[in-house]
Amino acid sequence: MTDEIYVFAIMLLLPLSAGMLVAQTNPYHALIIRGILGAIAALVYALFGAADVALTEALVGTMLSITLYAVAVRSSMSLRLGVLEPEAMPLSAELTQALRQALQPAHLRLELLPYGDPTALQQALGEKEIHALCLPIPVSDRTDKRNYRLQTRTPRLQQLLNTESLQAIAHLDETLQHSESQP
């Protein structure tokens, strides 16, 4: 019993790393911790003589599932923002910076999709191709220093974008509620 003390020490590492995995909030950090958990789990399985289970854990549980989940998380956790072509409306670095900052707490990426004209943008928002759109306010219509207006599809996104630094640059419009009821 005493000479197998290392078995208990290694076994304790498994719940330790599993607890670390559950405590993560950032999905990418959680993926890396999942890899650590997989490596330790393979060690524990090999320790108890289950060589086939250890090999499956390392190949499928760690390598395949992490890669698939990384691709899935990367493609789903992003905010698709519809903008006009860069020639028609150059986005200021200040705006993209403020947008990224607002999306940081939710661990979302910013993805810019250029469109030809404002009507195409509105149509894309109605057809749920994009999550939000950004349009310049013409100089004649400006009431204050804000030169952009942002429109989101859902109230939750508007809530997320409602930060001070973004409010200083862009005007947040009402969400597109009527498009939800239209077929």
**Token pair of 104, please?**
């940081």
In this structure, are residues 124 and 133 in contact, taking their beta carbons and an 8 Å threshold?
A: yes
Of 28-67, binders to another protein (CB under 8 A) are 28-29, 31-33, 35-36, 39-40, 42-43, 46-47, 49, 51, 54-55, 58-59, 62-63, 66-67
Q: Which is nearer to another protein, 49 or 183 (CB)?
A: 49
Q: Which is nearer to another protein, 109 or 171 (CB)?
A: 109
Residue 151 CB-density burial (10 A; 0-12 exposed, 13-18 middle, 19+ buried):
buried
Measure the CA angle with vertex 76, ends 72 and 82; round to 5°: 145
Residue from the set 1, 6, 140, 145 that interacts with another protein by CB under 8 A: 6
Regarding 168 and contact with another protein (CB under 8 A), the answer is no
Regarding 152 and contact with another protein (CB under 8 A), the answer is no
Identity of the amino acid at 16: L
Instruction: Count CB-CB contacts under 10 A for residue 155.
Output: 11
d(Cα 36, Cα 15) in Å, to the nearest integer?
12
Of 82-111, binders to another protein (CB under 8 A) are 109-111
* Shortest distance, position 69 Cβ to another protein, whole Å: 10
* Shortest distance, position 55 Cβ to another protein, whole Å: 5
Radius of gyration of the chain (CA): 24
Closest CA to 172 of 123, 138, 132, 129: 132
- The contact set with another protein (CB under 8 A) reads 3, 5-6, 9-10, 13, 16-17, 20, 28-29, 31-33, 35-36, 39-40, 42-43, 46-47, 49, 51, 54-55, 58-59, 62-63, 66-67, 70-71, 74, 109-111
